[in-house]
């Protein structure tokens, strides 16, 4: 599909005059079956890990289809583009070319506030979404996003951990899954924590006292509380306004994820980068979702898309680690400091993160033992990832020097998928 809204017939891209009726799409907006993945499509499925020859034989008589996919990135050249391109490649390879993914960059069909509706009414087939942009509509996801402040932070291991930890948490929360069902969309990955947040400032501000009176642009209520506890004054503004605000001194710092900051050239106006280690600033929570017609796809196609989405999480992490390396390099090139918050400031941030988590739990949508669950999962996954060679090989200040930008993280994605609750929701 292009950037306009195509007809059902065009979206199906049917090749051949005679269709196998039971195995083709039956409409533009079928119902969603179940709170998980909308399984129950017609035809036979295959076991995860089946050989490509077996899959090819199974789907040989299925009609080719074209599905549009709106990823997170604004263009194919974006640092974040692997989050979408890896999934496209996996789907088309696994389907032997029978399922074509047409990329729609830059939210050209629907902005983030409209994505659930566009998926439900058939304008979008697949999309990255950010449910935390609508906290009242997705309360459980918003509360879980708040708990990401409990995660340790680093530009490498610290980007793998959120995906591993919250994959299980997202698939295990009935409030999260039932909300998606109510909105007529199908979760492929119900929660994807965004990249870690860094503070970008015109002047170094690494201590508690250094933040007193600073004007800091933030992106959420939880981040606002954390900056207030450091003595800063949080400011809310559109991302497009931040560069000029930093140049003019309207704000002193911007709190934001690395990849976005690297691509926007923000470091030119705020070259000093400050980061946390013991805990994190709360991350936004994204999701990969399928539209209402997903339930009408042949079962084998559903399984191909679901598996490919899970295995594409390596591309999501790569976009995040690439972004961190880029922004650290840029800060140095502009003569800025790359420094951790001092221990006093981090102690304050940790205390605030625990208070915010307690408040989120009190809302009733997430497990009251969530803090312990996260701590146990972080410990388990840290050990497993370090054993797999995905531990930090140096500190954040030198990350741009020891990070291998040619690495891929396909094995990580498979490890998480095969050992998480996601497998229980695979279409069948």
In terms of domains, do 277 and 175 share one?
no
First vs last Cα of the chain: how many Å apart? 28
> Domain for residue 21, yes or no?
no
User: For residue range 250-284, what is the model confidence (pLDDT) as tens digits?
Assistant: 999 999 998 888 888 899 999 999 999 988 999 99
> Domain for residue 4, yes or no?
no
In terms of domains, do 63 and 120 share one?
yes
Higher pLDDT, 317 or 31: 317
Number of domains in the chain: 2
Residue 209, pLDDT score: 84
In terms of domains, do 329 and 355 share one?
yes
pLDDT at 205 exceeding the cut of 90: no
> Domain for residue 20, yes or no?
no
In terms of domains, do 141 and 213 share one?
no
In terms of domains, do 208 and 180 share one?
no
pLDDT at 185 exceeding the cut of 70: yes
In terms of domains, do 242 and 119 share one?
no
CATH number of the domain that 391 lies in? Answer: 3.40.190.170
- Section 281-297 average pLDDT: 95
Nearest-angstrom CA–CA distance, 37 and 41: 11
In terms of domains, do 180 and 202 share one?
no
Three-state secondary structure of the chain: CCCCCCCHHHHHCCCCCCCCHHHCCCCCCCCCCCCCCCCCCCCCCCCCCCCHHHHHHHHCCCCCEEEEEECCCCCCCCCCCHHHHHHHHHHHHHCCCCEEEEECCCCCCCCCCCHHHHHHCCCCCEEEECHHHCCCCCHHHHHHHHHHHHCCCCCCHHHHHHHHHHHHHHHCCHHHHHHHHHCCCEEEEEEEECCCEEEEECCCCCCCHHHCCCEEECCCHHHHHHHHHCCCEEECCCHHHHHHHHHHCCCCEEEEEHHHHHHHCHHHCCCEEEECCCCCCCCCEEEEEECHHHHHCCHHHHHHHHHHHHHCHHHHHHHHHHHHHHHHHHHHHCCCCEEECCHHHHHHHHHHHHHHHHHHHHCCCCCCCHHHHHHHHHHHHHHHHHHCCCCCCCCHHHHHHHCCCCCCCHHHHHHHHHCCHHHHHCCC
In terms of domains, do 166 and 310 share one?
yes
User: For residue range 354-404, what is the model confidence (pLDDT) as tens digits?
Assistant: 999 999 999 999 999 999 999 999 999 999 999 999 999 999 999 999 999
Residue that has been written with the tokens 């083709």 in this structure? 24
In terms of domains, do 274 and 288 share one?
no
Query: Rounded to two decimals, what is the model's pTM?
Result: 0.86
pLDDT at 34 exceeding the cut of 70: no
In terms of domains, do 267 and 363 share one?
yes
Which of 73-82, 308-317, 331-340 shows the lowest per-residue confidence on average (mean pLDDT)? Answer: 73-82
In terms of domains, do 237 and 111 share one?
no
Q: Which domain holds residue 40?
A: 9-14+26-150+159-193+283-322+404-425
């Amino acid at each position: 599909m292009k950037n306009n809204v195509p007809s059902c017939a065009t979206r199906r891209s049917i090749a051949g005059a005679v269709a196998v009726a039971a195995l083709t799409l039956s409409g533009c907006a079928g119902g969603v079956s179940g709170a998980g993945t909308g399984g129950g499509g017609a035809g036979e499925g295959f076991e995860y890990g089946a050989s490509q020859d077996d899959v090819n034989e199974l789907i040989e008589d299925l009609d080719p289809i074209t599905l549009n996919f709106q990823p997170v990135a604004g263009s194919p050249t974006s640092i974040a583009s692997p989050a979408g391109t890896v999934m496209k490649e996996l789907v088309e390879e696994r389907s032997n070319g029978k399922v074509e993914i047409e990329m729609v960059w830059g939210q050209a069909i629907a902005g983030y506030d409209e994505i659930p509706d566009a998926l439900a009414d058939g304008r979008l087939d697949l999309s990255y979404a950010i449910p935390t942009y609508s906290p009242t509509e997705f309360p459980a996801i918003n509360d879980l996003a708040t708990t990401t402040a409990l995660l340790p932070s680093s530009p490498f291991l610290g980007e793998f951990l959120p995906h591993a930890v919250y994959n299980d948490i997202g698939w295990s929360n009935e409030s999260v899954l039932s909300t998606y069902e109510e909105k007529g969309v199908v979760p492929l990955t119900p929660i994807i924590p965004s990249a870690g947040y860094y503070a970008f400032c015109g002047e170094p501000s690494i201590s508690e006292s250094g933040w007193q009176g600073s004007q800091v642009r933030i992106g959420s209520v939880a981040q606002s509380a954390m900056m207030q506890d450091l003595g800063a004054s949080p400011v809310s503004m559109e991302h497009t306004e931040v560069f000029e605000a930093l140049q003019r001194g309207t704000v002193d710092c911007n709190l934001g994820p690395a990849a976005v900051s690297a691509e926007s050239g923000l470091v030119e106006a705020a070259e000093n980068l400050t980061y946390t280690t013991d805990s994190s600033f709360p991350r936004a929570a994204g999701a990969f979702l399928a539209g209402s017609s997903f339930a009408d796809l042949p079962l084998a196609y559903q399984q191909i898309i679901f598996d490919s989405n899970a295995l594409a999480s390596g591309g999501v992490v790569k976009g995040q680690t690439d972004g961190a390396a880029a922004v650290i390099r840029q800060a140095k090139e502009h003569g800025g400091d790359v420094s951790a918050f001092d221990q006093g400031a981090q102690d304050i941030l940790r205390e605030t993160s625990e208070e915010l988590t307690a408040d989120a739990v009190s809302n009733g949508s997430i497990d009251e033992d969530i803090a312990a669950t996260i701590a146990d999962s972080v410990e388990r996954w840290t050990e497993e990832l370090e054993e797999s060679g995905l531990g930090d090989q140096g500190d954040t200040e030198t990350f741009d020097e020891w990070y291998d930008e040619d690495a891929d993280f396909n094995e990580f994605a498979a490890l998480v998928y095969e050992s998480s609750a996601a497998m229980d929701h695979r279409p069948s």
